[in-house]
Amino acid sequence: MSAVFRLPDLGEGIYEGEIIAVLVEPGQQVTEGQPILQIETEKAMVDIPSPYTGIVKEIPVQAGDIVNVGDVLMTFEGVAAEPLVMPPEKEPAVKPAAEKQPAVAPSRGPVPAAPATRRLARELGVDLRTVPPSGPAGLVTADDVRTYAQKKAVPAAEGPPAVPVTPSEIIEPKTFDFARWGAIEREPLRSVRRATAKQMAMAWSQIPHVTSQDIVDITKLEAFRRKHKTEIHDQGGHLTLTVFAMKAAATALKKYPRFNASLDTSSQEIVLKHYYHIGIAVDTEYGLVVPVIRDIDRKSIAELSVELKNMSERARAKQLTLEDTQGGTFTITNLGHIGGTGFTPIINYPEVAILGFGRAQMQPVVQEISDSYTVEPRLMLPIILSFDHRVLDGADAARFIRVIVEAFQDPDELLLMMT
């Protein structure tokens, strides 16, 4: 029999990707699990395995194409399996000839949806047959299920719920004819940059951002870093300020758990996470990526130094897997090595806070000694914390930053926090 393979739901709100390479050709015999395509999503490069053992019949996509969940990637012949997006339910044995099928959400029969979408529907108690589909060929997406569940959860008397806006629903401004005023050049908004644009637009439109700032004396911490950097280097790591920030942040997240949370608007609940997986923003030649370092609270400075170095190198080499970018609970972004006294980072949705650092600079600082004052040169670091005002308040942010400041001002205090 023949079969159609569509782009499955890759999870974590990923609904599209760019075809980087087609690894097979029409007429080729493939086996189940064999890589057939490479797709780059907003998170990582993904090898797409064949869901069948059979012969490739048609490949309607090529390198450079942008594909959405539900789009046809390949057709096969000589296979015995069912298409990945089709459900396990069986079709009715006999259909009356005059029976008119509804155009949307049929009352019986299979509903096209990816396995992850079906799992989400079960978790939310949603019948897929009642969900209006937005995907190609009537495919029900994960966003469709969330939107439907949210509408169902809010009583009619309360008015329409605040439905999260997906990137595809964001209204784009009018496009201008820029060539009227001079020569222009256009380049495709693709790959990581395209995904980043949509993710940031969604995060900014959905989260009421507030930014709190402070400045911390890291003179002693920098001396500590320089003293131990060779030792860490010999172990295969790179001792940076970000490594210390991860450990300090884990301590602050444990003390103030609402910073390690997400807001579930469908159930009107704050989801508090009892694990500490921190995403680290990495600048690459093809855009910003955020690999996740897991279980920060359980790892030593040396272990984190090695893991962060390796993860950053893999990010810049486009070797991250989808798993490497998922499950983060909090994000850190450090622009100090590039420059700038400060910035306002955008929260990595669906997290509720992000911690940023500017460039450390030597500054004259007034120090109080007994009853007199003296001015000394100190290495001062700007700290920026953006947070979701639906979940957290300014006083919460000030307390959270205070933990970071106290840890950075005194390496001994930082080491005590790690125990």
Sign of CA dihedral 386, 388, 389, 395: negative
Tell me whether the CATH fold assigned to 1-86 matches the one assigned to 196-417.
no
- In this prediction, residue 418 carries a pLDDT of 61
What percentage of the chain reaches a pLDDT higher than 90? 48
Residue 414 identity (one-letter amino acid): L
Instruction: Name the fold adopted by 106-162.
Output: Dihydrolipoamide Transferase (4.10.320)
Whether the predicted pLDDT of 236 surpasses 50: yes
Q: Do 41 and 325 form a contact (C-beta atoms < 8 A)?
A: no
Angle at CA of residue 387, ends 384 and 389, nearest 5°: 140
Task: Give this prediction's pTM.
Answer: 0.68
**106 contacts: CB under 8 Å, gap ≥ 6:** 129
Q: Which residues of 176-187 are buried (b: 16+ CB within 10 A; e: fewer)?
A: eeeeeeeeeeee
Instruction: Point out the residues that are catalytic.
Output: 389
Higher pLDDT, 404 or 130: 404
Domains of the chain by residue range? 1-86, 106-162, 196-417
Does domain 1-86 sit in CATH 2.40.50.100?
Answer: yes
The topology under which CATH files domain 196-417 is Chloramphenicol Acetyltransferase (3.30.559)
The alpha carbon dihedral of 106, 131, 123, 197 has a sign of positive
Q: How does residue 209 score in pLDDT terms, banded at 50, 70 and 90?
A: very high
- Confirm if 372 and 411 have CB atoms less than 8 A apart: no
pLDDT range class, residue 162, cuts 50, 70, 90? very low
Tens of pLDDT, residue by residue over 15-35, are: 778 898 999 999 999 998 889
Is residue 344 scored above 90 in pLDDT?
yes
pLDDT in tens, 346-388: 999 999 999 999 999 999 999 888 888 999 999 999 999 999 9
* Number of neighbours of residue 159 by Cβ within 10 angstroms: 8
Distance of CA 252 to the CA centre of its chain: 22
Q: Sorting pLDDT into bands at 50, 70 and 90, what band is 163?
A: very low
Cα-based angle 39, 43, 47 (whole degrees, multiple of 5)? 30
Q: How far is CA 254 from each of CA 29, 250, 272, 308, 409, rounded to the nearest angstrom?
A: 53, 6, 11, 21, 20
